[in-house]
A and B are shown apart, each in its own frame.
Chain A
Amino acid sequence: MAENGAKATVTLTIDGVEVTVPSGTRVIEAAEHVGVVVPRYCYHPGIPTRPAQCRMCLVEVEGRPKLEPSCTLQAADDMVVNTASDTARTARQSVIEFLLVNHPLDCPICDAAGQCMLQDYAYVTNQLESRVDEPKRIMGRDRISDDILYFADRCVICTRCVRFMRDVAEDDSLIVAQRGDKAYIDTFPGRELDNPFQGNIVDVCPVGALVHEDFVFKARSWDMDATASVCPGCPTGCNVTIDTKENQIVRVKPRHNAAVNSWWMCDYGRKHLVMTNRGVRAEVPLIRDGGGDGDDGGELRPVDWATALDWVAEKVAALGAPGGSAVVSPDASNENLFYLRTLLDRLGVADAAFRVPQGETAELPTVPTLKLRADRAANAAGAGFFGGRRADGPPDGPAGGALVVLDDELEGAGEDFGGSADFFLYLGTRLPGPARNADAVLPIATFAEMDGTFTNFENRVQRFHQALRPPGLARPGWMVLSRVLARLGDGEAVNDVRGAFERMAAQAPAFAGLTWDGIGLKGAPAAGSAAEAAGVAGPAEAGA
Chain B
Amino acid sequence: MSFPHGSDLETTTRLSRHQGEAEARTLEGWRARGGYEALRRSLEMSPAEITEVVKASGLRGRGGAGFPTGLKWSFMPKDDGKPHYLCCNADESEPGAFKDREVIRWTPHLLIEGCLIASRAIGAEHAYIYVRGEFFEETQVLNAAVVEAYDNGLAGDGILGSSWSCDVTIHAGAGAYIAGEETGLMNSLMGNRAEPWAKPPFPAQAGAFGMPTTVNNVETLAAVPMILENGADWYRQWGSEESPGTKLWSCSGHLVRPGNYEFALGLPLSDIIFDACGGTPSGKPVKAVIPGGSSTAFLTGDELDCATTYEGLAEAGSALGTASPIVMDEDTDIVAAMRRIAQFYAHESCGQCVQCREGTSWVVRILQRIEAGDGRPADIDTLYELCEQMTGRTICVLADSVVFPLQSSLDKFRADYEARMKPTLVAAG
Contacts and interface: CB of A to CB of B under 8 A. Distances in A.
A98 B362 contact: yes
B397 to A, nearest CB: 12
Contacts of B350: 179-180
Nearest to A68: B198
A180 B347 contact: yes
Interface in B185-204: 193, 195, 197-198, 200
A516 to B, nearest CB: 46
B362 A134 contact: yes
B362 A132 contact: yes
B346 A69 contact: no
A55 B355 contact: yes
Given A55-B393, A91-B393, A176-B193, A181 B355 contact: no
A179 B378 CA distance: 30
Q: Choose among A65, A133, A178 the residue with the greatest number of B CB atoms under 10 Å from its CB.
A: A133
Contact of B362 (A66, A91, A95, A101): A101
Interface in A51-65: 51-56, 58, 65
Interface in B154-212: 176, 178, 193, 195, 197-198, 200
Count chain B CB atoms within 10 A of each CB in A52, A95, A134, A179 and give the residue with the most: A179
B72 interface: no
Given A101-B362, A157-B351, A180 B357 contact: yes
B354 A134 contact: no
Nearest to A96: B354
A52 B347 contact: no
B363 to A, nearest CB: 10
A51 B357 contact: no
B358 A179 contact: no
A179 B176 contact: yes
Given A180-B347, A180-B348, A180-B350, A157 B357 contact: yes
A67 B354 CA distance: 15
Given A69-B198, A180-B346, A183-B357, A53 B352 contact: yes
B201 to A, nearest CB: 10
B347 A95 contact: no
B71 interface: no
A98 B193 contact: no
B361 A181 contact: yes
Contact of A179 (B197, B349, B362): B349
A277 to B, nearest CB: 42
B355 A98 contact: yes
Contacts of A51: 195, 197-198, 352, 395
A98 B349 CA distance: 14
Contacts of B351: 157, 176, 178-183
Contacts of B178: 179
Nearest to B346: A180
Contacts of B360: 180-181
B144 interface: no
A368 interface: no
A181 B354 contact: no
A168 interface: no
A181 B357 contact: yes
A458 to B, nearest CB: 35
A72 interface: yes
Contacts of B357: 98, 157, 180-181, 183
Nearest to B364: A134
A50 B365 CA distance: 31
A95 B354 contact: yes
A137 interface: yes
A337 to B, nearest CB: 52
B349 A131 contact: no
B353 interface: yes
Interface in B359-414: 359-362, 365-366, 369, 378, 382, 389, 392-395
Interface in A175-218: 176, 178-183
A280 B250 CA distance: 80
Interface in B20-58: none
B380 to A, nearest CB: 13
Contacts of B346: 180-181
A94 interface: yes
A104 B163 CA distance: 63
B349 A181 contact: yes
Contacts of B361: 101, 137, 180-181
B176 A55 contact: no
B358 A99 contact: yes
A5 interface: no
Interface residues of A, number: 37
B349 A95 contact: no
A401 B365 CA distance: 84
A58 B354 CA distance: 12
Nearest to A98: B358
A156 interface: yes
Contacts of B358: 98-99, 101-102, 181
Nearest to A42: B352
Nearest to A159: B352
A135 B365 contact: yes
A67 to B, nearest CB: 6
A41 B378 CA distance: 31
Contacts of A90: 389
A98 B354 contact: yes
A176 B359 CA distance: 19
Nearest to A181: B361
Nearest to A50: B198
A420 to B, nearest CB: 70
Nearest to B345: A180
Given A98-B358, A179-B176, A180-B360, A134 B365 contact: yes
Contacts of B348: 179-180
Nearest to B359: A98
Contacts of A134: 362, 365-366, 369
B174 to A, nearest CB: 12
Interface in B237-273: none
A179 B392 CA distance: 21
Nearest to A41: B354
Interface string A135-156: 1010000000000000000001
Contacts of A52: 198, 395
A99 B355 CA distance: 8
Nearest to A156: B354
- Max chain B CB contacts within 10 Å: which of A66, A90, A180? A180
B240 to A, nearest CB: 26
A101 B340 CA distance: 20
A187 to B, nearest CB: 15
A155 B102 CA distance: 42
A55 B394 contact: yes
A99 B358 CA distance: 7
A131 B360 CA distance: 15
A49 B197 CA distance: 11
Given A180-B348, A181-B351, A91 B365 contact: no
A231 B387 CA distance: 50
Contacts of B389: 90-91, 94, 97-98
Contacts of B200: 72
Contacts of A95: 354-355
B342 to A, nearest CB: 12
Contacts of A50: 198
Interface of B: 176, 178, 193, 195, 197-198, 200, 346-355, 357-362, 365-366, 369, 378, 382, 389, 392-395
9 contacts: A55-B394, A66-B393, A90-B389, A99-B358, A134-B362, A157-B351, A179-B350, A181-B360, A183-B357
Q: 5 closest Cβ contacts across the A-B interface? A: A183-B351, A134-B365, A53-B352, A98-B358, A94-B389
Given A131-B382, A133-B369, 13 more contacts: A51-B195, A51-B352, A53-B352, A54-B353, A67-B392, A72-B200, A98-B358, A157-B357, A176-B193, A179-B178, A179-B193, A180-B347, A181-B358
